[in-house]
Each structure stands twice: as structure tokens, then as C-alpha cells.
């Protein structure tokens, strides 16, 4: 692809990606840190009046923000990383650790994991394992760390490449949750409230859990989105080497998840007048 066209696509789709992401994640944080606590203070009559008017409007921008963030992100992956980088044999693009690194089936396998592991995630959190929050959190963290390691040492991904592809995996999980778990559940919940009925508790739990998951994933996701500006951690500074820089992302995931935990604690303590 012509370099001028590539540069134009990069600029336009990065702008669209950030715009859609701000819309999506802004509403995600509103739902989890503001609206959830506010809704708990409303009586039945107030909910019947407010929720059918508020939530469909908010969820419209929420789900389309998610869709366009994901779509523009995939376009950026192609423009910045994939084109010219994924032919079997010698790599000539930005994907691999070093110019001329051989592209093997491992690289293609890791790309498949970015977009197919959402089904593993969904299965895990519908299984009996999900009943033990501590265990499934440890398992989830271990799987993420394992994927980062494999992208680095088995597939040969560069620092920027394994960062953004883990972020793309989180983004895929999050967009899936919005369209196939949260939105279908919320349609039934809102309809029940509008009709003066108690919503199905399992749907409320499902929508709430997947929205919470998205909130936890969003913080390390932001790191991966700006990873072009974090290459100081790629190796050569602060005792970080090329063989240990993958641990930076693993640490960011852990710190990000703990930060969200603290934000939830704080959100529950903020009161109205």
C-alpha cells in the first residue's frame, strides 16, 4: 500500500478510534461508578419513569461506541502492524522483534487467539469455576500472562506488537460483552421495569458482571492503546531488558485491575446531597 495512503488511513482511523473509545468508555465508567449507585437509591415508581427513558438512550451510544472502537481498532492493526508483516518467512514490518525475524505459524496462532479467545473467556465465566471469584481471577491473570509470554518468546512479537495485541484481545472481550451479553440482558431488564415487573435476577447479575469485567479490562487496555509512548519500558532502562519487558505489561494488568477495585470501593462511598 502506498505510504501516503497508509499515513492518511492511520491519521483518520486513529482519530475515529479515540473518539469512539471516549464515548464508549466514558459511558462505561458512568454506568459503573455513578449510575449503579444512583439507581440503588430510587424507589419502584421512580425507576419505572427514569430507567426506560435514560437507559435506552445511554445504551445506544454505549453499544455503537463499542462497535466503532473495535472496527477502527482492527483497521489500525492492519495499517500499523499487519501489512507487510505476516507473510510466512522474513518480516519487514512493525510486528516482529527485529527486522528480518522469521514469521512462523506461532505468530498467526497468536493472532487467532486475540480474536478467538473471547469464546474461552465466555465459557469460563459461564462455568462453575466463576462461582469462586478469587480462583477464576487468578486463572484469568495466569492465562493473560501466558499469552503475553507466548507472543514475545514463541511468536517473536515486538514490544509494541504484543502490547497492542493483548489490548485488542481485551477490546474484543469488551465489545462482545456489550453486544452479546449486556445489551440483550438490558433490553429485557428495561422492558420489565417499564411494565412494573421485577426484572429477572439472573439477567441483572449477568449484565452487571460483564459490565464490571469491561471496567476492569479497560484500564490495562488504555496502557496498550498508548504503548507507542511507553517504549521506555521496552528494554534498556530501569533494569528492564529485551527478555523481561513482557513483564511490564503483566504488571500493568495487575495494577490496573487493583486500581479498578479501589475505584469501585470509592464509588460506593460517594453520596448525593
Exposed/middle/buried for 197, CB within 10 Å: 0-12, 13-18, 19+?
exposed
Instruction: Summarize pLDDT for 82-94 with one digit per residue, the tens.
Output: 886 666 555 555 6
CA–CA separation, 192 and 204 (whole Å): 11
Distance CA(257)–CA(244), nearest Å, equals: 21
For the stretch 172-186, pLDDT in tens is: 999 999 999 999 999
246-267 vs 159-177: helix axis angle to the nearest 10? 40
254: Cα within 13 Å, side-chain hemisphere? 11
Listed in sequence order, the DSSP H helices in the chain are 3-29, 36-39, 44-77, 105-124, 133-153, 159-177, 183-194, 201-225, 246-267
Q: Which tens digit of pLDDT belongs to each residue from 45-60?
A: 999 999 999 999 999 9
- 99-123 tens-digit pLDDT: 556 788 898 999 999 999 999 999 9
What pLDDT shows up at residue 88?
Answer: 53
Specify the pLDDT at position 19.
Answer: 97
Backbone angles phi, psi at 74, to 5 degrees: -65, -40
State whether the Cα torsion 56-16-175-213 is positive or negative: negative
Q: What is the mean pLDDT of residues 11-39?
A: 96
Residue range 132-155: mean pLDDT, rounded: 96
The per-residue pLDDT for range 258-268, each reduced to its tens digit, is: 999 999 999 99
Tell me which of 97 and 190 has the higher pLDDT. 190
Question: What confidence score (pLDDT) does residue 57 get?
Answer: 98
| The three grid cell numbers given for residue 153, joined into one nine-digit string | 518468546
**Domain residue ranges of the chain, discontinuous segments joined by +:** 3-267
The mean-pLDDT minimum among 52-61, 75-84, 92-101, 193-202 falls in 92-101
Q: Give pLDDT, residue 81.
A: 86
Amino acid at each position: 500500500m502506498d505510504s501516503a495512503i497508509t499515513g492518511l488511513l492511520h491519521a483518520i482511523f486513529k482519530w475515529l478510534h479515540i473518539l469512539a473509545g471516549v464515548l464508549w468508555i466514558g459511558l462505561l465508567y458512568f454506568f459503573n461508578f455513578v449510575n449503579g449507585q444512583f439507581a440503588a437509591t430510587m424507589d419502584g415508581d421512580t425507576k419505572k419513569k427514569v430507567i426506560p427513558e435514560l437507559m435506552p438512550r445511554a445504551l445506544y451510544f454505549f453499544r455503537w461506541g463499542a462497535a466503532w472502537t473495535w472496527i477502527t481498532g482492527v483497521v489500525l492493526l492492519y495499517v500499523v502492524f499487519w501489512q507487510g508483516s505476516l507473510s510466512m518467512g522474513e518480516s519487514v514490518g512493525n510486528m516482529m522483534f527485529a527486522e528480518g525475524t522469521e514469521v512462523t505459524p506461532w505468530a498467526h496462532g497468536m493472532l487467532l487467539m486475540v480474536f478467538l479467545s473471547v469464546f474461552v473467556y465466555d465459557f469460563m465465566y459461564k462455568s462453575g469455576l466463576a462461582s469462586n471469584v478469587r480462583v477464576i481471577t487468578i486463572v484469568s491473570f495466569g492465562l493473560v500472562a501466558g499469552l503475553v509470554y507466548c507472543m514475545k518468546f514463541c511468536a517473536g512479537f515486538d514490544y509494541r506488537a504484543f502490547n497492542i495485541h493483548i489490548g485488542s484481545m481485551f477490546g474484543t472481550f469488551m465489545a462482545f460483552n456489550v453486544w452479546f451479553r449486556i445489551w440483550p440482558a438490558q433490553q429485557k431488564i428495561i422492558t420489565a421495569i417499564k411494565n412494573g415487573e421485577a426484572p429477572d435476577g439472573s439477567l441483572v447479575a449477568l449484565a452487571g458482571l460483564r459490565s464490571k469485567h469491561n471496567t476492569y479490562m479497560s484500564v490495562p487496555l488504555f496502557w496498550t492503546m498508548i504503548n507507542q509512548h511507553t517504549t521506555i519500558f521496552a528494554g534498556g532502562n530501569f533494569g528492564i531488558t529485551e527478555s523481561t519487558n513482557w513483564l511490564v505489561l503483566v504488571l500493568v494488568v495487575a495494577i490496573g485491575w487493583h486500581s479498578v477495585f479501589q475505584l469501585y470501593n470509592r464509588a460506593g462511598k460517594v453520596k448525593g446531597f
